[in-house]
Amino acid sequence: MGVIAAYQQPQDPADIKTDSNLKISREYSVNGQAKQTFQENDIVKITLKPVINSKAIDTEYQITDYLPAGLKVLSNLQSRDLPYDQLFRYPYEVNGQAVKFWSGKPAQEFYYYAMVISKGGFIAESPAIQGFIAQSSVNCGSSSRITIE
């Protein structure tokens, strides 16, 4: 009898061998103004900007954003009377603070909404873009710090 154990381990983005054909950046805004400091009851628009070069080896990509602990994905836009258009996307998976989206090639900028749930200073971990099939094709954006007053 044998036992096999598999587990996921956090990895420092600086240690990841990145694919230069992929890039991703993130911006937070409230009422059209880019911000890093938020107030209680703010609804935050999170814009993700993936770039997939034509030389990238995969055709479909997973984009993972990590919400800071003071924010929570907002899925019911109608109850908040929030504007949205063709660039708005619902995630295909939310697991704790990890929010996952799909992107084909070429990639398009998109956004989703989150709501403030607690005060404090928080680290916004790097968003990541990774091939669905070619999982070694990966790159990360920049981490940042947000404040909720």
* Distance, CA of 91 to CA of 103 (rounded, Å): 11
Residues 95-131: tens digit of each pLDDT = 999 999 999 988 999 999 999 999 999 999 999 999 9
User: Is the pLDDT reported for residue 5 higher than 50?
Assistant: no
81 — pLDDT class (breaks 50, 70, 90)? confident
**Domain definitions of the chain by residue range:** 18-144
DSSP string, 91-139: -SEEETTEEEEEEESS---EEEEEEE---EEEEEPPPEEEESS-TT-EE
Closest CA to 32 of 19, 42, 20: 42
Q: State the average pLDDT over residues 6-22.
A: 67
Regarding predicted confidence, which is higher, 76 or 89?
Answer: 89
What CATH number is given for 18-144 in this structure?
2.60.40.740
Evaluate if pTM is beyond 0.75.
Answer: yes
